[in-house]
Amino acid sequence: MSSTHCFTEFSKQSPKGILVIYGNLLYKLLKGTWFLLFLFIKDFSKITEETLGYIYLGIAVVLLLFLFRAFLLYKNFQFKIAEGHFVLKQGIFKKTDTSVSLDRIQNINFKQNIIQQLIQVYEVSIETAGSVKTEIAIKALSYERAQELKSQILLTSPSFEDDSEMLEEKPLLKISVLELLKVSLTENHFKSLLLFLAILIGLYQQVKDLIKSLGKTADFDSYFGEGAAVIYGSLVLITIFLLLLIVIGVLGSFVRVFLFHFNLTVFVKDQAFEINQGLTTKKSILLKKEKVQSITISTNPIKEKLGISYVVFKQAISGKVVKKKYKAIKIVGCKAAQVAKIKELLFDTEKLEAAEKHHVDGYYKTRMYFRSSIVLFLFNLILYISFEELTLFFWNILLIPVFGLLIHLSFKKTFYKFSRDLLLLGSGSLGTHYSYLPFFKVQNIEMKQNIFQEKRNIVDLVFQTAAGKIKIPCINKDKAVEIYNYTLYKVENSTAPWM
């Protein structure tokens, strides 16, 4: 690709970036002041025309001030590449200069939200191996300028290789809408249902407050009380209500999967994965093999029937990263051959598959029973305090076998295997998860033991990586010491790059 922008002199974003910055500022404003809008609607009938005029004038002034602020942020945001560094100048009153060495740049990702898609610009995020404060997000570049900037950083930085041939190869994985539908049917619908119920409860509370301000509380309570009594008194209506909740949960899962993983495509070349996905927010992520700290392959009974699973890449993030979602990259709808290819590219798993499987000590099941009993007790206590109804305790007849089944499955699926270079940890209850961790990626290792474990001569072994913790619970102390010493040996003697 012939470059028309050398970026050796300070450059600005596209002028369309003013709209992107303005949209982000307004979103933050609405997110922090939405309750004022609710109060405005609730007391709208009490507001005089004169006061209403002042309110509209104030809103107009605020919108203009935010537009002016967006313009200043755009004007003062300048960047260039010089002497092996990416240099950034930004700020209005408090101006900052940031200089990032190109050899510390780990990832260069493209992203498009709805506004950016409409005005045809891309956000380019540059992730570094240092503190999160040095990560850079250029909000608005044309696709051509974004590619040119990426190419120049790739060519200049020793951390990357030229990826110009990557998009010419056949993708490792490409998910169609039909396959996304299959994926959504195997998701955790309970999570989607809880989110819907939380929104519904919040909306109910707001409507109740609004009715209360209008002096119609008695009518409101009477109406909903009668409706609830009708539902409780009819087995047919209860069945319809439960089926409706199930449908809402399934639809919620489909919408979530469709929006986030739409047009999921994965390319592979040498030492990197390029992952493209998203509908409302499009993302293009270049993930280096060295930055992958561990992977987790997950499935469940429905996924197994459909022959699919998903793979989560846990990547190295240094510094104080607040949002855990930036640590993990998830690829859904992987078939067995694709999972095998990913493992082959990242690790040598041949010896690991033939290694002996070790199960955890039976104390692990006892500990889960004890913790579940505490959860069940607190749940019943909250129910009793809230409703003062003893008949609710009969629901425990259903909850106890459910807890028992989940604990049994979790204990049965928890195991570990290790080879010369790799650790495999199995876990899960309804779902099954296989986590692969190379020993040389470990940054710290701990053995934890409480007084009950001490009597049984067992410990929890915790591996700390640049992407988080992986724990083997309740294993024999002698075996734990062996793994502990071997891990330290591999860390100290390995010369492979860990990120």
* pLDDT tens digits, one per residue of 241-251: 778 878 887 88
Rounded to an integer, what distance in angstroms lies between the CA atom of residue 303 and that of residue 320? 35
Measured over the CA atoms of residue 480, residue 485, residue 486 and residue 487, the dihedral's sign is positive
Question: In this structure, what is the dihedral angle of CA atoms 163, 166, 167, 172, given to the nearest 10 degrees?
Answer: -150
- Look at residue 15 in the predicted model and tell me its pLDDT: 92
What's the mean pLDDT in 370-392?
76
Q: By mean pLDDT, which of 32-46, 177-191, 331-345, 375-389 is the weakest?
A: 32-46
Burial of 85 (C-beta count, 10 Å sphere; 0-12/13-18/19+): middle
Q: By mean pLDDT, which of 124-138, 280-294, 366-380, 483-497 is the weakest?
A: 124-138
Ranked by mean pLDDT, the top range of 33-42, 208-217, 379-388 is: 379-388
The more confidently predicted of residues 132 and 278 is: 278
Burial of 147 (C-beta count, 10 Å sphere; 0-12/13-18/19+): middle
What's the mean pLDDT in 434-462?
94
- Look at residue 55 in the predicted model and tell me its pLDDT: 79
Reported confidence tier of residue 166, pLDDT bands at 50, 70, 90: very low
Reported confidence tier of residue 98, pLDDT bands at 50, 70, 90: confident
Reported confidence tier of residue 2, pLDDT bands at 50, 70, 90: very low
- Look at residue 204 in the predicted model and tell me its pLDDT: 63
Reported confidence tier of residue 45, pLDDT bands at 50, 70, 90: low
Give the tokens for residue 203.
């909306």
Mapped onto helix, strand or coil, the DSSP state of residue 76 is helix
Report the amino acid identity of residue 138. I
Rg (CA), the chain: 28
Edge-to-edge strand order for the sheet containing 78-82?
78-82, 85-90, 96-101
Q: Which residues pair with 24 in a beta bridge?
A: none
pTM, entire model: 0.77
- Summarize pLDDT for 171-209 with one digit per residue, the tens: 889 998 888 888 888 887 777 777 777 666 666 666 666
Q: By mean pLDDT, which of 175-184, 216-225, 301-310, 461-470 is the weakest?
A: 216-225
Nearest-CA neighbor of 332 among 292, 289, 300, 293? Answer: 300
Structure letter (DSSP) for residue 420: S
Give whole-number Cα distances, 371 to 250, 280, 364, 379, 403, in Å: 30, 41, 11, 12, 11
Helix spans in 289-348 (H): 301-306, 336-346
The more confidently predicted of residues 490 and 213 is: 490
Edge-to-edge strand order for the sheet containing 309-315?
328-334, 309-315, 292-299, 432-438, 422-427, 415-418, 358-359
At residue 414, φ and ψ (nearest 5 deg) are: -90, 115
User: Is the pLDDT score of 119 beyond 60?
Assistant: yes
Antiparallel, parallel or unpaired: β 96-101 and 85-90 = antiparallel
Q: By mean pLDDT, which of 85-89, 111-115, 390-394 is the weakest?
A: 390-394
